[in-house]
Structures are given as C-alpha cells and as structure tokens.
Amino acid sequence: TPEQVRATAAAFRVYLSAGPRDADGDYLVDHSVLTFLLDPDGAFRDCYGRSRTAEEVARSVRAHMDSYEPLPPARGE
C-alpha cells in the first residue's frame, strides 16, 4: 500500500517524491539511488550508493555471505 511504501522508505531513510501527473495520469518519481543488502533473515547488512564500484560491491557482498550466521530460532518454534 502507499502507507507501507512510505513507512519502508522512512525506515531506510530513503528519499522519494512523486511529481505532478501529466495529461495521461503518468508521473515521475524522484528518489534516492541506493541498493540495500539484506541477509536471508531480512536484517540490513550494507548499503551501496552510486560511488561504489562493481568490484567494491562484489567484495562486500561476498564478505557478508562468508560471515553470515543465521539467527537462532525464535522461542517456541
């Protein structure tokens, strides 16, 4: 929902702004240009902006993959 998108953007401190609609009802969205790395548990691990090279991102992702340890099961599971 739009409310969920706004809440997620706020949680990750992402900027977004929908522009005015044109005659066809279309619009552009201005937004942050970031890629977020989440682990299999959904936990935030890193954030990559446009200044990071592909090699830097690959090294970071590999390092996070190599050091990943799953969260323990929640109590009662």
| Ligand-binding site membership of 64 (annotated) | no
One-letter amino acid for residue 63 of the chain: A
**Residue 67 burial (C-beta neighbours within 10 Å; 0-12, 13-18, 19+):** exposed
C-beta separation of 49 from 34 below 8 A: yes
User: Which residues, including other chains, have CB under 8 Å from residue 21's CB and lie 6 or more apart?
Assistant: 27
Binding residues for Cu cation: 31
Binding residues: 31
